[in-house]
């Protein structure tokens, strides 16, 4: 309630300053910039959102995430390079005293690498599907917050225009203001986007 009263007190002072031909809008906008603390709080909300989703993971999703993290590391790449180099050296009889078990064209190596690729792709897809579900939830949350914010901004514009009209300022010739005062229809936007996609 205090914020509401102080905001309208500020608007009233803006009207007085407007009547005196002063423009305090720069100071007004400077006061509404986001502080570092607010930015940290917002980041914390999104981090906690992901943390909650991580806690709800099934055992298979936890396994897929840890395996994907390992498969995407330099250690795994180096391990594969060493393994392939050793396999090729052994099976081309380049190491004396070690008998080749998969001679050129390395059919068994080809099969093992193909199976490894299938397993890797499956783990990565499981992790990506889970990440996509989290992103979808975030997008839906963001949309809902934007719709609420749009309604609040429209209400503030209506209140401000009423205050300005009571002060004798003519707003009837402002077509942009008339558009801004109309509430945004989410269903109309959705229909427009569906047409754009088709």
Does 67 or 34 have the greater pLDDT score? 67
Is position 23 within any domain? no
Average pLDDT, the chain: 77
Is position 48 within any domain? yes
pLDDT in tens, 14-39: 555 555 544 444 444 444 455 667 66
* H helix or E strand, kind and range, residue 91: helix 74-91
Is position 15 within any domain? no
Is position 25 within any domain? no
Closest CA to 177 of 162, 192, 150, 157: 157
Is position 12 within any domain? no
138, 46 in Cβ contact below 8 A? yes
φ, ψ dihedrals at 106, nearest 5°: 60, 55
DSSP structural state of residue 183 = P
Predicted confidence (pLDDT) at residue 10 exceeds the cutoff of 60: no
pLDDT at 31: 46
DSSP letters for 100-135: -SS-TTTHHHHHHHHHHHHHHHHHHHHHHHHHHHHH
The total of structural domains in the chain comes to: 1
Is position 1 within any domain? no
Grade residue 66 by pLDDT with cuts at 50, 70 and 90.
Answer: confident
50-89 burial, b at 16+ Cβ within 10 Å, e below that, comes to: eeebeeeeeeebeebbebbeebeeeeeeeeeeeeeeebee
pLDDT at 129: 87
Is position 144 within any domain? yes
Which distant-in-sequence residues (6+ apart) come within 8 Å of 39 by Cβ? none
pLDDT in tens, 124-163: 998 888 888 888 888 888 888 888 888 888 888 888 888 8
Distance in angstroms (rounded) separating the CA atoms of residues 97 and 110: 24
pLDDT in tens, 74-111: 999 999 999 999 999 999 988 888 888 988 889 999 99
Distance of CA 162 to the CA centre of its chain: 37
pLDDT at 194: 76
Does 164 or 87 have the greater pLDDT score? 87
Task: Supply the range of the domain harboring residue 137.
Answer: 34-197
Distance in angstroms (rounded) separating the CA atoms of residues 177 and 181: 6
Predicted confidence (pLDDT) at residue 63 exceeds the cutoff of 50: yes
pTM of the predicted model over 0.75? no
């Amino acid at each position: 309630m205090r914020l509401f009263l102080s905001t309208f007190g500020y608007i009233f002072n803006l009207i007085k300053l407007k009547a005196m031909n002063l423009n305090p809008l720069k100071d007004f906008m400077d006061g509404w910039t986001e502080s570092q603390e607010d930015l940290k709080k917002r980041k914390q909300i999104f981090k906690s959102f992901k943390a909650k989703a991580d806690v709800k993971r099934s055992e298979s999703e936890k396994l897929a995430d840890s395996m994907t993290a390992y498969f995407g590391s330099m250690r795994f790449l180096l391990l594969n390079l060493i393994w392939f180099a050793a396999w090729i050296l052994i099976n081309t009889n380049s190491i004396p005293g070690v008998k080749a078990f998969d001679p050129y064209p390395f059919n068994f190596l080809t099969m093992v690498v193909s199976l490894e690729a299938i397993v890797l792709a499956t783990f990565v897809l499981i992790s990506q599907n889970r990440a996509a579900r989290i992103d979808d939830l975030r997008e839906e949350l963001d949309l809902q917050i934007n719709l609420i914010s749009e309604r609040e901004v429209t209400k503030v514009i209506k209140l401000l225009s009423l205050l300005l009209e009571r002060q004798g300022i003519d707003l009837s010739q402002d077509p942009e203001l008339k558009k801004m005062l109309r509430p945004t229809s989410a269903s109309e936007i959705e229909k427009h986007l569906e047409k754009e996609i088709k």
